[in-house]
């Protein structure tokens, strides 16, 4: 098989790109990473050449081309069943998929009001309106699963998996904007942000020279 190519956006800003990148790293899949700079005049054409949806992440695995972060994570899980990217137990697996799907499809206000920006730290903020409701829901999901899976490890279902890849960008948003969290949610964020694959993504993000003024000034 030729080496799969994962197209990603800027590591500082592209929360969707981070998710499959983390999953592929955790699974030990050998892949080539190609970064398409977002918010540049050539961005749209460059992404259109590799993604029918016009978004990154996108995967080119030879005969197979994918343009959705969750689908790419599922591909990684199929490629490396022994990496346990989903919990082994069927009930836990269903719940983990449920929690990942909630993030994939929802929490739009949280994402809009608190965009991912790994280099940034603001004064502590309070969320308002729909974003505050999103945070209440995210942290309720986290507490429910952490309370039940505490003995199995520090991640949502014990061991790190795709569901944790989906919530890692949220943990960075809480840190960037100093949003106050309950103790259980804070401990989960700390575990996500200490995971070696995330640390290595973040190191590369901090070295990027590009700035998106709109996001940086929000």
Enumerate binding residues for ligand GSH (CB under 6 A): 9, 14-17, 38, 43-44, 47, 55-57, 68-70
CA separation for the pair 13, 105 (Å, rounded): 19
With b meaning 16 or more CB within 10 Å and e meaning fewer, what string describes 155-184?
Answer: bbbbbbbbbbbbbbbbbbbbbbbebebeeb
Rounded least distance, CB 16 to ligand GSH, Å: 4
Q: Residue 115 or residue 154: which is nearer to ligand GSH going by CB?
A: 115
Pick the closer one to ligand GSH by CB: 47 or 92.
Answer: 47
Supply φ then ψ for residue 114, to 5 degrees.
Answer: -130, 70
Closest CA to 96 of 56, 59, 149: 149
- Minimum Å gap between C-beta 151 and ligand GSH is 32
| Minimal distance, residue 83 CB to ligand GSH, in Å | 20
For residue 110, the SS3 value is: helix
Distance of closest approach, residue 217 Cβ to ligand GSH, in angstroms: 18
Nearer to ligand GSH, 9 or 87 (CB): 9
* Helix, strand and coil in the chain, % to nearest 5: 55, 10, 35
> 42: how many CB neighbours lie within 10 A of its CB?
9
d(CA 107, CA 102): 8
- Choice between 47 and 156, CB closer to ligand GSH: 47
> From the CB of 192, what's the least distance to ligand GSH, in Å?
18
Q: Which is nearer to ligand GSH, 92 or 110 (CB)?
A: 110
């Amino acid at each position: 098989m030729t080496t799969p190519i994962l197209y990603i956006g800027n590591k500082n800003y592209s929360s969707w790109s981070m998710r499959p990148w983390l999953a592929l790293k955790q699974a030990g899949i050998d892949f080539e990473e190609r970064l398409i700079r977002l918010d540049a005049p050539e961005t749209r054409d460059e992404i259109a050449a590799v993604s029918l949806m016009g978004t990154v992440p996108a995967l080119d695995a030879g005969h197979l081309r994918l343009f959705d972060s969750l689908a790419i994570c599922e591909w990684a899980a199929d490629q490396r069943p022994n990496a346990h990217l989903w919990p082994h137990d069927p009930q836990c697996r269903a719940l983990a998929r449920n929690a990942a799907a909630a993030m994939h499809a929802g929490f739009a206000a949280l994402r809009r009001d608190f965009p991912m920006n790994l280099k940034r730290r603001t004064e502590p903020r309070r969320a308002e309106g729909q974003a505050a409701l999103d945070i209440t829901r995210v942290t309720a999901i986290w507490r429910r699963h952490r309370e039940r899976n505490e003995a199995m490890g520090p991640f949502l279902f014990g061991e790190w998996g795709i569901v944790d890849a989906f919530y890692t960008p949220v943990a960075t948003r809480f840190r960037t904007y100093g949003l106050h969290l309950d103790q259980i949610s804070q401990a989960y964020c700390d575990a996500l942000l200490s995971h070696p694959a995330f640390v290595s993504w973040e190191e590369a993000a901090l070295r990027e020279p590009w700035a998106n003024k709109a996001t940086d000034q929000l």
